[in-house]
Chains A and B, each alone.
Chain A
């Protein structure tokens, strides 16, 4: 299997990371060597194996749905790169 520049462009779009030509070339090389390494897994037959999703067999605990913290508006907004009183501000999305 080989990851070509078209695939790199596609992944870059999905992951919302802009990639120029030079970076795409380098990434294709790196990803191909990493995937060559990963391909080793195909040597294993895993047809009847249950996938492991959690190392500890446990069911998630339920709790009552109650408010435990309040008045967090200021804290939540505090680290935003650009804010306007009570809102996060983003570049204009509607013309």
Chain B
């Protein structure tokens, strides 16, 4: 049998169901590898001893009908876990121990999975490189000097480094798809309203969405069917018929119409990204799908609109961190002084910057010029997609305008950092599902991703197209275990 941590989720499930492996063996294998991988800095909180106990308990009375029977997994530290510290990568929540469980993680435990620990991320999911985390940056398993992307950087690095078979992240402007692309893994941002936001530390409520990250499309599909559910506790959760995505997964995409938006061919895009895109187009054609040129005319306005809408919502959501009810408190001479010092010392630079932008665009006299304007532009962007979907079933684009960049390369220039999300942000603004799959390497051998964007609630089609392309590409991630001494 291959090394446990090299197996896919589907193989692990099969081996546990066939009793070739016990949950304890699998759990122990991932813990051992995680212990040897501290240099990657993927974990904020480890849950190893309790995970082993739970695995033993599972093995004593295994319920093999479950979808994730005794499967250990780590999750992004943005999901509240009952009695286990949840920090959102921030000093302000450094000592926060939730007394409740997020719906998405509860769905996962209900199917038999076991929590290995909580994974590093950009502070409050605000960042594209995992460098804004209070707990330090994460190393990309691909290469020591590279960022893993962000904000779900710890999640992507943990999957790529085989420290967890699967994981979940959250995606507000690309935070699942961009790190997946940077680490050679698969990441799905589901339709807004597909996965409950209950118990997820809020960033921008009209954009935030949880989603699966894995080594393959099939594993992503299985995890998506576990986490997606209608939840009355989230008023924006949508009650629609959810597929058993992994069971209905097919590589038959014959006759599907795939749109290629000309606006995604941006100035200064590296040739290798253009080449990758062309390769993707060829693969789709080889699968019998039809390529259709489309236009999404307002694409270049998506990022500016996002950097009004997301900070505005963040400034409102993060008002709750006042040093009174939970989290870090600084000493102050009076109540206002305490608030101001708590927030100044408790939040990092990028989070403060975004709260300030958000406060400004919502402040008296500026609301119409900025926030209302951005919401109107958001409508235009959604209209673009609605028009396109009259002609096509899905859209194929690159995931990011470049491969992973070096640690420290973009930290002094927020706008250049924001530009990383140029291909992913429009998808969040329109609330659509999008997946990033690894599709090739650049000249340095760093992975590059392709993105498939679908119609709302059409995760199945997105997964099917990704599955068909994945089979053609036959991508192999170059993981050398350089961090294991």
Contacts and interface: CB of A to CB of B under 8 A. Distances in A.
Interface of A: 3, 7-8, 10-12, 14-19, 27, 30-31, 33-34, 37-42, 44, 46, 49-56, 58, 60-61, 63, 75-76, 78-82, 88, 90-93
B1 interface: no
Contact of A18 (B344, B418, B430): B344
B433 to A, nearest CB: 12
Nearest to A63: B232
Given A51-B379, A78-B99, A56 B344 contact: no
A91 B338 contact: yes
Q: What is the predominant secondary structure among interface residues of chain B facing chain A?
A: helix
A17 B373 contact: no
Contacts of B373: 41-42, 46
B255 interface: no
Contact of B304 (A40, A56, A80, A88): A40
B99 to A, nearest CB: 4
Contact of B336 (A16, A37, A46, A88): A16
Contacts of B105: none
A90 B332 CA distance: 10
A40 B378 CA distance: 14
Interface size class of B (residues with CB under 8 A): 35 or more
A92 B334 contact: yes
B335 A78 contact: no
A19 B414 contact: no
A31 B340 contact: no
A63 B231 CA distance: 13
A14 B307 contact: no
Given A18-B337, A18-B343, A93-B334, 4 more contacts: A37-B303, A52-B379, A61-B235, A91-B335
B360 A58 contact: no
A75 B288 CA distance: 57
Nearest to B456: A56
Q: What is the predominant secondary structure among interface residues of chain A facing chain B?
A: loop
B415 A33 contact: yes
B4 interface: no
Interface string B365-385: 000001011111111101000
Contacts of B343: 15-18
Contacts of B430: 55
Given A17-B347, A19-B344, A40-B300, A34 B327 contact: no
12 contacts: A15-B355, A17-B344, A18-B340, A18-B344, A41-B305, A44-B377, A51-B375, A79-B97, A81-B324, A81-B329, A90-B338, A91-B334
Given A17-B340, A75-B99, A37 B415 contact: yes
